[in-house]
Amino acid sequence: MIKDVVGSKNYNVWLAMLKRLVPYGRTHRLSVVVASMLQVAYEIAQEKEESNAKATKLSSIFESANQQDEENGIEPLLKITEQFFKDARVGFKRVNRKGMGYSIAEEAVYQFLNWDAMPWES
């Protein structure tokens, strides 16, 4: 769905970035990169939502996630984020040194949801 909204050119550049960065990249850095892709997709969806049904749906997914909508939650946004990694053919699930699993996709969604959070400005 994001590809249809942001365009093939943008989406393919993002996939190429993920292919290069993910295999050896640090999660705390990768999650911010992916969150920035989500932020751009959200802005483009908002710009196009009046004339594009897919943009309207995508914008709605972002809004629900931003509002932590209990009915829809962040699950739809997480699925979209996981699809980024699947389309790039790179893994998003990892295991830390303690043997605990985690997801770069989940971390990216968290970074997106806290995009404007600047604790030092409070």
DSSP secondary-structure letter at 92?
-
Asked if residue 40 is part of any domain, the answer here is: yes
Within a domain: 122: no
Contacts 24+ apart (CB under 8 A), 6-12: 6/40, 6/41, 6/44, 10/40, 11/87
Within-domain flag for 84: yes
pLDDT category at 122 given cuts 50, 70, 90 is low
Q: What is the spatial distance between Cα 2 and Cα 86, in angstroms, rounded to a whole number?
A: 13
Kindly report the CA angle at 83 between 58 and 31, in degrees rounded to 5? 90
| Domains in the chain, number | 1
Q: What is the pLDDT of residues 1-47, one digit of tens each?
A: 899 999 999 999 999 999 999 988 888 889 999 999 999 999 999 99
For the whole model, what pTM was predicted?
0.89
CA distance 57 to 47: 13
Which two three-digit tokens encode residue 25? 């990249």
Q: Give residue 13's domain range.
A: 2-114
